[in-house]
Structure 1
Amino acid sequence: MPDVNRRGLLIMGAAAPALAPALAGALPASAKVQTVAPPDPTEVVRLWPNGAPGGEGVTVVPIVPERSTDPAYRDRYAQYTTDPIMTVMRPDKPNGSAMLLIPGGGYRWAVLDKEGFDVARVFAASGTTCFILRYRLPADGWSAGADAPLQDAQRAIRLIRSRAGEFGVRTDRIAVLGASAGGHLAGLASARTDAAYAPVDAADAASLRPDLTVLMYPVATMADPHVHAGSRTHLLGETPSAERIAAYSLEKMNWNGAAPVFLLHAMDDVSVPVENSLMLLSTLKAATVKAEAHVFQEGGHGFGIRLIQGRPAAVWPELARAWAARLDFAL
């Protein structure tokens, strides 16, 4: 079977639990079968052995509400995280690549399934070892403020790289995928060369830079008129200065020497305008960063994997894989 067909079947297989309700609706009542969401992986890695840094003033209590009422899929979000973790999803046949997945949520929370577990299952199906990040949020009282999520992302990359042998991945094949505000965080992790925290153990001797970056409908700019206002407020506060806005706008950063970047966005995204990706693409071109962008006519915002089935943007995992393969990076 040609490789593209095999991968297409893998995508369909990974998405099957989410598609089941629609398929069941077309069957006679006697033929309907109850489906349930696949179980979560059980392997979890704590990021900080002695607690996350700068938490002396943190009083929030973590919650993980479930929004889905359909047993075929889950839709959880993590809010007020105090003990950041990575959930490891190991493939049946590892190809040596790793992917850190950073879900979005406007820096208010992190959606765990739609842009985390659901996406991870698709890439794990083709051999990538996936790590779903549950990160701290900037407005919860951490002394690092806006850099608290970045501390978690940088620490996660270093842990994956320093323990590459344990996870069965190559130290030079570590990708990061971020969606929406998670795309902003993934962009920070890709563009920033400075560590946002003091070393805590030997793992922090490893490089904090990803080898490949995938940004799904990313929050890029913190400036009007194309900013996602909620992300800016939760990251920088109600009235950030012009200097702070510029410092956290991805299109204003120095991307020289950054890893290759893959961008995808929908033209009809009314939450995070497509200009976020277009402005960032111009910056990447000026910095001679290898980059590819796919702009779909329709798709809206936050489509992940499940919500885009049957629409043109559903091909995005295959587009990302093909692009990565041209860079000798298996996804």
Structure 2
Amino acid sequence: MKVTSARAQTTADAGRDGPADPTEVIRLWPDSAPGGQGVSITPIVPERSTDPAFHDRYAQYTTDPILTVFRPERPNRSALLLIPGGGYRWAVLDKEGYDVARVFAASGTTCFVLRYRLPADGWEAGANAPLQDAQRAIRLIRSLAADYGLDPQKIGVLGASAGGHLAGLASARTDPTYEAVDAADALSLRPNLTVLMYPVATMADPHVHAGSRTHLLGDAPSPERVAAYSLERMDWRDAAPVFLVHAIDDTSVPVENSLQLLTTLKAAAVPTEAHLFQEGGHGFGVRLIQGKPAQVWPNLVRAWAGRLDFAL
């Protein structure tokens, strides 16, 4: 397993007052990501924040998917794969990745932030390229359980916005989307627990997040393609327990995304808990809701997971 320095793959921490980035990074694929013959892009990680107190970076045109590892001081044997959003146009590293990872690592969970490939970048798998990375990440974390002191049956996934859609795909689908590359791919590709924050769930009008659909499926996907990638249309039977959190005033990804999915999960008898907040908007992560009711969501997740004997 090749571990590379985060310095080669992220923007520098210089001039920032917040915590430094972890330097432990795991490459998902031992050689190169599958189906890259037609890919000719150059990865970028722009910084959007003008405030020295915090980062706000996004990863675009990723060619070498990685996991950035947040090791807790007192591990609780659970792991969390974090999948940030970005409308399938890019992946927001800090707000829904590193910032959230620090919160759960502080309570003992080993966190892995996924930097995944994007569907419109020329990968042979197209819309399944991000799912290949998510499935591979779950298997890889499970294969490394002994190295990190993890219970291989305590591997959770937390996805936000379009990352919530990707986490939902990884939770609902049972079919591998790539050919096995090593022994890790003999392991289960489904998580043991799923947290979806303001998820892009449906690909159908009228509640679809149009940008996510366009970047995932193209400008005019067929009804069959729309149905195949709508979480509320999938077979969730035997999926892991799900936690949903959404703000009712979300104008980017309407709360109906979570409500429709909740109906599906209930019908499939998936243990589910849902929390809807009156205010919070979209993409709030942890930093943007300080002082608002929705700031309690990490504690609600911990309490719910604790009742499932899954320490977070």
Pair in the same fold by TM > 0.5: yes
1:221 is matched with: 202
Matched, 1:246 2:227: yes
More off after superposition, 35-44 vs 284-293? 35-44
Aligned counterpart in structure 2 of residue 199 of structure 1, from 163, 169, 180: 180
In structure 1, C-alpha distance between the alignment counterparts of 2:242 and 2:200, rounded to whole Å: 15
Matched, 1:92 2:73: yes
In structure 1, C-alpha distance between the alignment counterparts of 2:44 and 2:259, rounded to whole Å: 35
In structure 2, C-alpha distance between the alignment counterparts of 1:236 and 1:60, rounded to whole Å: 19
Residue-by-residue CA offset, 1:140-184 (whole Å, 9 max, x unaligned): 000000000000000000000011000111100000000000000
* Number of matched pairs: 298
In structure 2, C-alpha distance between the alignment counterparts of 1:241 and 1:174, rounded to whole Å: 34
In structure 2, C-alpha distance between the alignment counterparts of 1:49 and 1:294, rounded to whole Å: 39
2:6 is matched with: none
2:135 is matched with: 154
1:326 is matched with: 307
Alignment of 1:1-331 (within 5 A): 36-331=17-312
- What's the secondary structure of 1:215's corresponding residue? strand
Q: Give 2:203's aligned amino acid.
A: M
Q: Give 2:248's aligned amino acid.
A: M
Residue-by-residue CA offset, 1:273-297 (whole Å, 9 max, x unaligned): 0000000000000000000000000
Q: Where does the alignment leave 5 or more consecutive residues of structure 2 unmatched?
A: 1-14
Q: Give 1:231's aligned amino acid.
A: S
Q: Where does the alignment leave 5 or more consecutive residues of structure 1 unmatched?
A: 1-33
- What's the secondary structure of 1:175's corresponding residue? strand
Q: TM-score, normalised by structure 1?
A: 0.89
Residue-by-residue CA offset, 1:123-145 (whole Å, 9 max, x unaligned): 00000000000000000000000
1:5 is matched with: none
In structure 1, C-alpha distance between the alignment counterparts of 2:20 and 2:225, rounded to whole Å: 41
2:10 is matched with: none
How far is the alpha carbon of 1:122 from its aligned partner?
0.3
2:9 is matched with: none
Structure whose CA Rg is larger: 1
In structure 1, C-alpha distance between the alignment counterparts of 2:289 and 2:177, rounded to whole Å: 35
The 8 Å contact of residues 16 and 55 in structure 2, kept in 1 or not, is answered as no
Moved over 6 A (4+): none
RMSD: 0.8
Residue-by-residue CA offset, 1:196-238 (whole Å, 9 max, x unaligned): 1000011101110100000000000000000000000000000
Q: TM-score, normalised by structure 2?
A: 0.95
In structure 1, C-alpha distance between the alignment counterparts of 2:281 and 2:25, rounded to whole Å: 32
How far is the alpha carbon of 1:35 from its aligned partner?
7.3
Q: Give 2:243's aligned amino acid.
A: F
How far is the alpha carbon of 1:37 from its aligned partner?
1.4
In structure 1, C-alpha distance between the alignment counterparts of 2:308 and 2:110, rounded to whole Å: 18
More helix by share: 1
